[in-house]
Amino acid sequence: MDLTARHTHGPGAGRGPLLRRRVVTGLVVAPRRPLDDVGRAGDSPPDAGTDLTARVPGELVARELARHHDASPQVGDRVVVRAPLAAALRRWYLATAAHERVGAALTGLDAHHHVLHAVPVDGAFGVDHLVVGPGGVVVVRTAHHRGERVKVQARQVRADGRPVGHVREVERQVRQVAAQLSAASGYDVAVRGLVVLVGARSVRTADVPRSVTVLTDDELVGWLARRPRVVSQVLVDRLARTAADPLTWGAQTGPDDVRRRRHGQACTEAVRVALGRWPSVRVGTSGTGGKRG
Domain boundaries defined on the chain: 3-292
pLDDT top residue among 289 and 258: 258
Tell whether the model's pLDDT for residue 140 goes beyond 50. Answer: yes
Where residue 193 falls among pLDDT bands split at 50, 70, 90? very high
Residue 137 has a pLDDT of 98
Percent of the chain at pLDDT exceeding 70? 80
Residue 17 has pLDDT above 70, yes or no: no
DSSP 228: P
In angstroms, rounded to a whole number, what is the distance separating the alpha carbons of residues 293 and 282?
A: 5
The answer to whether the CB of 262 falls within 8 A of the CB of 66 is no
CA distances from 114 to 142, 243, 276 (A): 18, 10, 33
pLDDT (tens digit per residue) in 212-232: 899 999 999 999 999 999 999
The mean pLDDT of the chain is: 82
| pTM attached to this predicted model | 0.82
> How confident is residue 209, by pLDDT bands cut at 50, 70 and 90?
confident
Mean pLDDT, residues 102-115: 97
What is the pLDDT confidence band of residue 184, given thresholds at 50, 70 and 90? very high
Is there a cis peptide before residue 46, judged by omega within 30 degrees of 0? no
Q: How far apart are CA 178 and CA 236, in angstroms?
A: 14
Average pLDDT over residues 162-176: 91
Q: Which of 27-31, 39-43, 68-72, 162-166 shows the lowest mean pLDDT across its residues?
A: 39-43
List C-alpha distances in Å: 254 to 41, 225, 266.
9, 33, 19
Name the DSSP class of 229.
Answer: P
- The pLDDT score that the predictor gives to residue 220 is 96
Q: How far is residue 168's CA from residue 243's CA, in Å, rounded to a whole number?
A: 22
